[in-house]
Structure 1
Amino acid sequence: MIISFLNQKGGVGKTTLAVNTAARLARSGHKVLLIDADPQQTSAQWASLRETTPFVVASLPRPKMARDAMAMAADYTHTIIDGPARGKDIAHSVVIASDLVVIPIEPGGPSLWAATETIEAVNNGRALKEQLEAVFLVSRKQANTVIGREAKAYAADAGIQILRTEIQNRVAFAEALTAGRTIFEWAAKSEAAKDIERLVKELLRYGEHENIRGPEKARQAADA
């Protein structure tokens, strides 16, 4: 599967989610690729803090990256894409390259409003890839709070499911990323690590029924 984390608002935890999802998949013995498609290159900067990484990290922060991303992904069990906070052209390519688009949202207005552009890209992508999946993920949630009625209504109106897993706003995530570590290297038994465990388990359910696209259809989608 090619799984992307994408929202046009920065600061919703896309890089944290991408790095640690890739790390959890790699810990299971999968061959994993992380593509940094964000011009800010935060995932690539994280990788530069290390001598080696538990998965391969590649940079493709440019429009029309879908064809290259899909070609690279063919050599891996799973590919994770860290999407851009800005840039419609790159976001469109990220969607086209993906089998599953995960849209991180915070339980508040700004990230929901910014998600509108991502939903538009997903809807455009579905015109080319009918089996393209998209889900909302509550991210950076404050402890002991519940997701607001506004977010649930927004998801219902968009016709996009909200994952049951919710990622709490935990200090350990920031500490690990700053240190150039995954959450499993930094605090393997922490609640933050458990959050990612639950997330990956839920995401993999979307891969139980393989999204099959013919080579020509995939090329047409990548060039669109």
Structure 2
Amino acid sequence: MIIGVLNQKGGVGKTTLSVNIAASLARTGKRVLLIDADPQGSALDWAAAREGDPLFAVVGLPKPSIHKELSLVGEGYDHIVIDGPPRVTDLARSAIMASDVVLVPVQPSPYDIWAADEVVKLIQEASVFKENLKSVFVINRKIANTAIGRDVREALEAYDLPTLEASVVQRVVFAEAAAVGKAVYEQDRDGVASQEIEAVVSELQECFA
């Protein structure tokens, strides 16, 4: 499965999700590749901060030819996760065309909900050329026990994309793990944050595998 994690708005947690989804898939013994398609290179920075053996391979490919090069770069891998760029560009279009499933993280704020319009349009354009392309929202960096956290799911119904039942709450442990190049499950194996990532991955696999 090739999962593209994209949203044209920065700061929605694309890299955090990408890294932890890749780590979750790698935990099962599968060969996983994380492609950092963001010119900022945050996933590469995460990999560089890690001490010890890597959980999975990480390569930088911030070029609008991802969909053309993927068959070579991704050869031999069971799953590929693409950490997309934070703007609607040819690079984002290429990442979408390379994906089987586009995961669109959205924070529970009106600005993020409005901004989702751009990436939804991009996915719709790509679907003309790639009929089997799947796409779904995931609520990320949710603030527990707030009205906006509950209402965002209803607001996203305005778009022609489903929303995963699983969601991820904003927690300090994600930043703590990232700072040392670890996945959240390594930092807190049985913690709630790890369980939330596992729920997202499980739902993705059930719906789109």
The alignment covers a number of residue pairs equal to 207
Cα deviations by residue, 1:99-134 (Å, 9 ceiling, x for unpaired): 000000011112122222211110011001111011
Q: State how far apart, in whole Å, the 1-side matches of 2:133 and 2:16 are.
A: 23
Aligned to 1:78: 79
Aligned alpha-carbon RMSD (Å): 1.5
Aligned to 1:36: 36
Q: 5+ unaligned residues in a row in structure 2: which ranges?
A: none
Aligned to 1:217: none
Aligned to 2:167: 166
Q: CA deviation at 1:164?
A: 0.2
Look up the equivalent residue of 2:3 and give its one-letter code.
I
Aligned to 1:68: 69
Q: CA deviation at 1:71?
A: 3.2
Equivalent pair of 1:135/1:163 in contact (CA under 8 Å): yes
Q: State how far apart, in whole Å, the 1-side matches of 2:126 and 2:88 are.
A: 16
Aligned to 1:221: none
Cα deviations by residue, 1:126-172 (Å, 9 ceiling, x for unpaired): 0011110110100000011354546523x333210010001000100
Aligned to 1:133: 134
Look up the equivalent residue of 1:186 and give its one-letter code.
Q
Equivalent pair of 1:44/1:58 in contact (CA under 8 Å): yes
Q: State how far apart, in whole Å, the 2-side matches of 1:73 and 1:23 are.
A: 17
* TM-score, reference length from structure 2: 0.94
Cα deviations by residue, 1:168-201 (Å, 9 ceiling, x for unpaired): 0010001100111111111111111111111110
Equivalent pair of 2:37/2:84 in contact (CA under 8 Å): yes
How do residues 90-105 of structure 1 correspond to structure 2 at under 5 angstroms?
A: 90-105=91-106
Identity %: 42
* TM-score, reference length from structure 1: 0.88
Q: 5+ unaligned residues in a row in structure 1: which ranges?
A: 209-224
